[in-house]
Chain A
C-alpha cells in the first residue's frame, strides 16, 4: 500500500497560505509547553503567532522574516519535527524527574561538612560504602601494616641513599 503524500486527514497538518505557513494540531497531541518550546526555537527565523482554531485545535502561523533563507514548506516541516522533539524532551524530563532530584539532593547532602569535621576532625563517611569482600581485604591489609615498616626503602631520603656512591665517583682514591 503506497504511503500518503498528504496529511490533510490527520490531526497535525500544515498548509501554506499566501506568505505564511499555518500549522494546526489537536491540543491533546502536544502540550502547551511543547508548543512554546518549539515556538521559542523559531523566533529568530520567522514571526510566530499561536491561536485557538477552535476548542480542541491550536493553530500556529509562521511568517518568515524578510531576510530569511527558509521557504514556507521548510519552516512548516522543521516546526513539525521540532514539536516532536520538544514533546519527547518534556516526556523524558517528566520520567527522570525523581532520579534527577535524588542525584542533586544526594550531591548537595554529601557536600555539607558534619559538625565534628568543621574544626579539622577526622573525616567521617569520606570513603563510600564498599562491597563486603573489598572491605574485608582492606581490613586485613590494614591489620598487617605497620607504619614503621619500609620494605622498599621509600622512607630513606635520597641524599642518604646515594651519598656514598656519589662521593666515590667524585674522588675514587678516597674509597
Chain B
C-alpha cells in the first residue's frame, strides 16, 4: 500500500526514521515524486497492511512534531 508525504509538511528525515523503524516488520520502498516522498509498505499480510500504513503515518507525524520541538 502506498502513501505520500508532502515536503512542506513532513521533513525527509522524519520519513527516513520511520522507514528504519518499520524495516523489521515490513518491506518499505521509498521513491520521490515531485514535492512528495512516496512510501510503499508491504507487510506480507494484506489484511494488516492498512493498519501498518496507518501506524507508519502516525510515526512520521510523531517524528515531525518531535523535530519541530515543543512550543
Residues of chain A touching chain B, judged by Cβ–Cβ distance below 8 Å, are 32-33, 36-37, 39-40, 43, 47-52, 58, 63, 65-66, 90, 93
B61 touches which one: A39, A52, A58, A65 (CB < 8 A)? A39
A93 touches which one: B4, B6, B57, B71 (CB < 8 A)? B71
B9 touches which one: A32, A37, A65 (CB < 8 A)? A32
**Contact A51–B61 (Cβ < 8 Å):** no
Interface of B is mostly: helix
**Contact A47–B64 (Cβ < 8 Å):** no
**Contact B62–A43 (Cβ < 8 Å):** yes
Separation in Å of the A165 CB from the closest CB of chain B?
A: 68
- Determine the residue in chain B with the shortest Cβ distance to A49: B57
**Contact B51–A48 (Cβ < 8 Å):** no
**Contact B65–A63 (Cβ < 8 Å):** no
Which residues of chain B are within 8 angstroms of A37 by Cβ–Cβ distance? 65
- Determine the residue in chain A with the shortest Cβ distance to B3: A49
- Give the 8 A-B CB pairs with smallest separation, nearest first: A47-B54, A49-B57, A52-B6, A36-B65, A50-B9, A43-B58, A40-B65, A47-B57
**A93 to B8 Cα, complex, angstroms:** 24
**Contact B68–A48 (Cβ < 8 Å):** no
**A66 to B53 Cα, complex, angstroms:** 13
**Contact B54–A63 (Cβ < 8 Å):** yes
Q: Which of B1-43 contact A (CB under 8 A)?
A: 3-4, 6, 8-10, 35
**For this complex, into which size category does the number of interface residues on chain B fall?**
20 to 34
Given A36-B64, A39-B61, A47-B58: A52 in contact with B9 (beta carbons within 8 A) = yes
**Contact B8–A52 (Cβ < 8 Å):** yes
**A131 to B63 Cα, complex, angstroms:** 52
**A148 to B8 Cα, complex, angstroms:** 77
**A40 to B71 Cα, complex, angstroms:** 13
- Determine the residue in chain B with the shortest Cβ distance to A52: B6
B68 touches which one: A33, A49, A93 (CB < 8 A)? A33
**A90 to B51 Cα, complex, angstroms:** 32
Interface centre among A33, A36, A49, A66 (most CB of B within 10 A): A49
**Contact B71–A43 (Cβ < 8 Å):** no
- Determine the residue in chain B with the shortest Cβ distance to A93: B71
**A49 to B65 Cα, complex, angstroms:** 13
A36 touches which one: B6, B51, B61 (CB < 8 A)? B61
